[in-house]
Amino acid sequence: MSIYIDYKHGGERVTELQHLILNGKIGDLITFYPGYGYKGITFNFIKMGSKTINVYAFDRYWYSRDQHQTPVVKLTKDCITFLKARYRNTMHVKAIGDWSFMLRGFINLGIIPNVSLGYLRDGTLITDSNKTEVASYLPMKMSWNGKLLGRIPKAAKDFAEQCHKNDRTIRNRNARANYANTRVVRLMREAEKNGNWSKITTRDVFSLSNVTRRTQLIERFGIETILDDLNAEIVDKDEIDGRKYELLRFIFPTPRNGETIPATYLKMINPSTAETCVEGVPNNRINEWNQREITMNTVKQALAWRDGDLNDYLIPIALT
């Protein structure tokens, strides 16, 4: 995800800033407003020394004392330095590759030519005028023509490589998933014509992205057969108000990034129709699907998550 850079007005702004550096009086101020996507931020450029400008970034909708006291950029006639500074509009607050609203807004001004800034999977990557690509880092020094200056941290280079590695992994995984989905859909269409479903297995259910197709295959095999083929472990059993429940756990058939994925499901049996329903629940009790620690171990925990009960499962009271 790249950003829009306002090069149309960038040259005019550079001329004003160079004039302020060389000829301005201490305390003189220039204010610039970024364009598309960053209109909530204001940059104040204040002459601080004989050849130095401090840049303060302000959120136009939220007051913060730090923004008035701490510069985020320092300008001299030779370079532009992005400083370490507390700023409210950050996404991850990482030392390397942070999604910094301040940095993105400043680049948007078009003051620094021949640079690009984008977000790839895990972090912000910046490419300078020499086509050097690294993860963003602070402090970061650049020339007025967009060349990175000084020693680039190894962590910034490694982070950029990792972003591209993760991107390739995700793209390859998506390609494999698309291939598997196309294959199963083709086999289902052939089976619908000739009545031969022998080429399709229960695990093919998990390759389908279309809900209608997936439901069709589940109905053909039956949820019990699918769970048996997955070697689902019964973690807990319970009976509440005459309804039977089972908490199941199995390894999801489609690995992600080479890792096995545990899946936890709540199995419910309707006492009136004897129909089986299976619903996915998190592996943990704090409602985060990506947490690695597995703490969802009872039917009541799963029911509490499903009904939004903060602590223990509260059995619904029938209204009369």
Q: What is the pTM of this model?
A: 0.72
pLDDT of res. 85 = 67
143 & 195 share domain: no
Residue type, 249: R
Q: Assess whether 17 and 123 both reside in one domain.
A: yes
Q: Are 138 and 72 in contact (CB under 8 A)?
A: no
Co-location of 34 and 147 in the same domain:
yes
Distance CA 312, CA 20 (A): 65
Question: Does any domain span residue 315?
Answer: no
| Residues 161 and 103 sit within 8 Å (Cβ to Cβ) | no
CB-based contact 110:143 (threshold 8 Å):
no
Q: Note the pLDDT of residue 224.
A: 83
- 125 with 160: CB under 8 angstroms? yes
pLDDT score of 91: 45
Q: What is the DSSP string of 56-71?
A: EEEETTS--HHHHHS-
Determine the Cα–Cα distance for residues 208 and 195; give it in Å rounded to an integer.
20
- Beta bridge pairs of residue 252: 261
Number of domains observed in the structure of the chain: 3
User: Is residue 137 in some structural domain?
Assistant: yes
Q: Domain containing 281: what range?
A: 227-307
Cα 273 to the chain's mean position, in Å? 42
52 closest CA partner among 71, 33, 66? 71
Neighbours of 220 (CB within 10 A): 14
Q: State whether 42 and 104 are in the same domain.
A: yes
Per-residue pLDDT at 206? 87
Shared-domain flag, residues 11 and 148: yes
The reported pLDDT for the residue numbered 223 is 83
Each residue's pLDDT tens digit in the chain (320 positions)? 678 888 889 999 999 999 999 999 999 999 999 988 888 889 999 999 989 999 998 887 776 666 677 899 999 999 999 998 655 444 445 789 888 888 899 999 999 999 999 999 888 999 999 999 999 998 999 999 999 999 999 999 999 999 999 999 889 988 988 999 999 999 999 999 999 999 999 989 989 999 999 999 988 998 888 888 888 899 999 988 888 899 999 988 776 656 678 889 999 887 777 778 888 888 887 767 667 788 889 999 999 888 877 667 767 665 55
Give the pLDDT confidence score for residue 37 in this predicted structure: 84
Between CA 138 and CA 152 the distance in angstroms is 10
pLDDT score at 191: 95
